[in-house]
A and B are shown apart, each in its own frame.
Chain A
Amino acid sequence: MKKLFTTFGFWKMTAVVIMIAGLYSTYVRFFHGLGASTNLSDTFPWGIWIGFDVLCGVGLAAGGFTLAAIVYIFNIKRFEPIIRPTILTAFLGYLLVVVGLMFDLGRPLQIWHAIIMWNPRSVMFEVAWCVMLYNTVLALEFAPVILEKYKMTKTIKMIKRISIPLIILGVILSTLHQSSLGSLYLIVPDKMYPLWYSAYMPIFFYVSAIAAGCAMIIFESFLSSRAFNRGLELNLLTEIARICVVMLGVYAVMKAVDLNDRKMLSLLTVPRFETYMYWFEVTVGVIIPFIMFTQRKIRQNTTGLFIGAVLVVVGFIMNRMNIAITGMEGWTSTTYVPSWNEFSITMMIVTIGFIAFYFIAKYFPVFVDEHEHEDVHKNSVNMYSMHEDLRKVSSPV
């Protein structure tokens, strides 16, 4: 057993165990139904598959549109080395959200109904369309990485021709559905605990998603640098941390003003479960990383960056879980604890994400060689016509 452990590697073993458990739970889910596989009920119809797989999955993939806007709309080209892995993270994130939905939907084979059966008054309808379209945008944004390997230059050129409208569309779609995930909960003013319920939830969801997206860029860069033994673009990540800290600051101020406007500040000291969870989320995800990332020393320090990013991600997940679960338990007077099937399927989906990222990054030019990149950059300064080549090498679009 010990030998098996060392030859196969701890993480690979873990992945295998998770996959086996997840596949078994998949069987239970689809052959025995949601009742047998989950702890959901009539009073608590949305659990971690919505709270984590969908709300967190979409939010943590927000780095994709943030960085795309920075590099292509604001033309800050020095961020190009990290754009491909970021787009890949976002693309996989969104695909896995759809996978998660297939588990959660009671009638998953009918998922396509949203394409032809319209209800423009429904937030869920809007989210469905945005996610469909944004998945298409991400596929096109990432396609050049795959096509490059097979030297399909003509197709790459065709995608490049529409690259700017595509990026703009991606940013708008993301803005819409990131905020709309917050709008989903506008309909439950009586059910959600007032620490979380606010008419400004759409804006909170949007701003916090950008902060979490930035944190994910840092987190993902660290994991990749370890997994692929490559250098870390520390100066770029330091700047990403700066964007992150600005978003965290904006978020904190908005939340405080909102609580004050709704005269709910007194709830912050009420000794009950919701209060503790709220403080946990805000302290871990906003206050501590905000203080950390305002320090130049920590921003420029590898460990500091990593810890700060992990805190933002954890706090973000806590926020979404609080909104989806903690905030909804009081009114329904139910306690919802996910079943182990719900856990194992969620873990399986996350694991699939890691494995897919690993293999795509291994076999396709996701991480462009930094020296090659610099050479082309020099040339492009000298020769106007080389500008196009620069894009070919370093951009996903």
Chain B
Amino acid sequence: MVKKKAMLIDITLCVGCNACQTACKEVNHMPVDEEKALSTTAYTALNEYDGVFVRRMCQHCDDPTCASVCPVGAFTKMPEGPVVYDVDKCIGCRYCMQACPFQVPRYEWSNTYPRVQKCTMCHERLAQGLPTACSEACPTGATKFGDRDDLLKEAYERLAAEPDKYVQKIYGEKEVGGTSVLYITSVPFENLGFRTTLQTTALPQLTWNALSKIPGVVTVGGTLLFGIWWITNRRHEVKEFEQKLHDTNHSNHGKN
């Protein structure tokens, strides 16, 4: 059984050196110039809020919305944690972008055969037993890679050790059913651009509520429609038959 990996991002430790983005770009063979927002050439980026730096990236949800909405299953949640995108399947409907509760996927708008781009959680490195490139490059330990269970435990220990410093919440523990990227902070999350109103159950359940009714609609609907047709058709036939009977009777009477 593979243990689910995760990254713990302690916002209080981040100094905004951008080493994570540089390492990410090198691993993914992208131009290394600094970018301030997520893009097709920046899978991660630092947002600054009054001297506080927040790393943006794909949250790698446990039950990813993107994977559930994709009509061709181009997104897969790997048992190790990463949510990966398969361009060879993608038809370019952009439902993943529309649906993502964190607004992460980016699109190659200027490309005539565009791809969706987002953090891969270095799944190829993970397969070799290596940590993610960004966590390896982080000089302060603001981004820490490890087993999700262990990191959650550690996060709780940090919150408990300094209750006055930390907001008593781990963002990503429960959001949309839990994610593989966890955040802790000393500044309220809502002031750092985090969506704190997200529900704690996974979003795919919302569409599944509707989709799961399809077999019922097909069987009940089909039977009902066939039944209605049978009755109305029978009525039609009987009426015609009676008319015919009436006509023949009538003409027989005429003869007698």
Q: Footprint of B on A, CB under 8 Å?
A: 30-36, 40-43, 45-46, 69, 72-75, 77, 104-108, 110-111, 113-114, 117-128, 164, 168, 171-172, 175-176, 179-180, 183-184, 186-190, 199, 202, 332, 380-384, 387
List chain B positions with a Cβ less than 8 A from chain A: 38, 65, 68-74, 89-95, 97-99, 101, 103, 105-107, 109-114, 195, 197-199, 203-204, 206-211, 214, 217-218, 221-222, 225-226, 228-229, 232-233, 235-236, 240-241, 243-244, 247
Say yes or no: A168 contacts B222, CB within 8 Å: yes
Q: Which residues from chain B contact A108 at a C-beta distance below 8 Å?
A: 91-92
Q: Is the CB of B114 within 8 A of A126?
A: no
Q: Kindly list chain B residues whose C-beta atoms are within 8 Å of the C-beta of A46.
A: 94, 98
Q: How far is the CB of B187 from chain A (nearest CB, A)?
A: 21
Decide if B211 touches A123 in the complex (CB within 8 Å).
yes
Contact B109 A35, beta carbon cutoff 8 Å? yes
Contact of B72 among A32, A36, A117, A199 (CB under 8 A): A117
Query: For the complex, what is the distance from the CA of A172 to the CA of B223, rounded to whole Å?
Result: 11
Specify which of A34, A110, A381 is in contact with B109 (CB 8 Å cutoff).
Answer: A34
Q: A383 to B247, alpha carbons, bound, how many Å?
A: 10
Collect the chain B residues with CB atoms within 8 Å of residue A184's CB. Answer: 95, 207
A121 touching B204 by the CB < 8 A rule?
Answer: yes
B228/A176 in contact, CB under 8 A: no
Tell me the smallest distance from the CB of B230 to a CB of chain A, in Å: 9
The answer to whether B92 touches A186 (Cβ under 8 A) is: no
- Look across to chain B and name the residue whose beta carbon is closest to the beta carbon of A173: B218
For this complex, 25 residue pairs linking A to B, each with C-beta atoms less than 8 Å apart, are A30-B112, A42-B97, A42-B106, A45-B97, A45-B107, A46-B94, A69-B225, A73-B229, A74-B232, A105-B91, A106-B91, A106-B93, A106-B113, A106-B114, A107-B90, A107-B92, A119-B70, A119-B72, A122-B68, A183-B211, A186-B210, A189-B199, A190-B101, A199-B206, A381-B243
Cβ-defined contact, A188 with B99, below 8 A: yes
With a cutoff of 8 Å between Cβ atoms, the chain B residues found around residue A31 in the complex are: 112
Name the contact of B98 in the complex, choosing from A45, A106, A168, A380 (C-beta under 8 A).
Answer: A45
Given the contacts A31-B112, A121-B68, A183 and B73 also touching, CB distance less than 8 Å = no
Which one of B95, B103, B236, B244 lies within 8 Å of A43 (CB-CB)?
B103
| Docked complex Cα distance between A30 and B92 (Å) | 14
Chain A residues near B65 (CB, 8 Å)?
187
What is the bound-complex CA distance between A121 and B209, given in angstroms?
A: 10
By beta carbon, the residue of chain A nearest B243 is: A381
The 7 closest A-B pairs by CB, nearest first: A106-B92, A35-B109, A75-B232, A119-B73, A124-B71, A107-B92, A125-B71
Q: A42-B107, A45-B94, A113-B91 are in contact. Are A186 and B206 (CB under 8 A)?
A: yes
User: Are B110 and A36 closer than 8 Å at their CB atoms?
Assistant: yes
Distance in Å from the Cβ of A339 to the closest Cβ of chain B?
12
CB neighbours (8 Å) of B98 from chain A are: 45-46, 187-188
* B221, A172: Cβ atoms closer than 8 Å: yes
- A382–B109 contact, CB under 8 A? no
Contact B114 A33 (CB under 8 A): yes
Set A43, A104, A175, A179: member contacting B210, Cβ < 8 A: A179
B70/A122 in contact, CB under 8 A: yes
**How far does the Cβ of B43 sit from chain A's closest Cβ, in whole Å?**
13
Question: A107-B113, A107-B114, A190-B198 are known contacts. Are A113 and B229 too (CB-CB below 8 A)?
Answer: no
In Å, the complex CA distance between A179 and B218 comes to 13
Contacts of A202 on B, CB cut-off 8 Å? Answer: 210
Which B residues touch A32, using CB under 8 A? 112
Q: Shortest CB–CB separation between residue B57 and chain A, in angstroms?
A: 14
Q: What residues on B are CB-neighbors of A183 within 8 Å? A: 207, 210-211
- Chain A contacts of B94 at CB under 8 A? 45-46, 106
Q: Which residues of A contact B221 (CB under 8 A)?
A: 171-172, 175
Q: How far is the CA of A62 from the CA of B95 in the complex (A)?
A: 24
Per the bound structure, the CA–CA distance linking A380 and B244 in Å amounts to: 10
User: In the bound complex, what is the Cα–Cα distance between A183 and B38 (angstroms)?
Assistant: 29
CB distance from A162 to the nearest CB of B (A): 13
Provide the bound-state CA to CA distance between A19 and B95, in Å: 29
Q: Which residues of B contact A36 (CB under 8 A)?
A: 110
Q: How far is the CA of A163 from the CA of B199 in the complex (A)?
A: 47
B205 to chain A, nearest CB (A): 10
- Complex Cα spacing A34 to B94, Å: 12
User: Chain A residues near B214 (CB, 8 Å)?
Assistant: 126, 176
A110 B90 Cβ-Cβ under 8 A: yes
Within the complex, the shortest CB–CB distance from B196 to chain A, in Å, comes to: 11
Q: Taking the nearest CB of chain A, how far is it from the CB of B131, in angstroms?
A: 28
How many Å lie between the Cα of A202 and that of B91 in the bound state?
A: 24
How many angstroms between the C-alpha atoms of A33 and B113 in the bound complex?
7
Kindly list chain A residues whose C-beta atoms are within 8 Å of the C-beta of B99: 187-188
Q: In whole angstroms, how far apart are the Cα atoms of A199 and B98 in the complex?
A: 18
Beta-carbon nearest neighbor of A77 in chain B: B236
Q: When the two chains form their complex, are residues A33 and B112 in contact, meaning their CB atoms are under 8 A apart?
A: yes
- Collect the chain A residues with CB atoms within 8 Å of residue B92's CB: 105-108, 110
Closest to B40 in A: A42
Alpha-carbon distance between A383 and B93 when the two chains are bound, in angstroms? 55
Chain B residues whose CB sits within 8 angstroms of the CB of A381 once the complex forms:
240, 243
**A111-B207 contact, Cβ under 8 Å, with A122-B68, A190-B198:** no
Give the CA-CA distance A28 to B206 in the complex, in Å: 38
Cross-chain contact A121 with B211 (CB below 8 angstroms):
yes
Inside 8 A of B70's CB, which chain A residues have their CB? 119, 122, 124
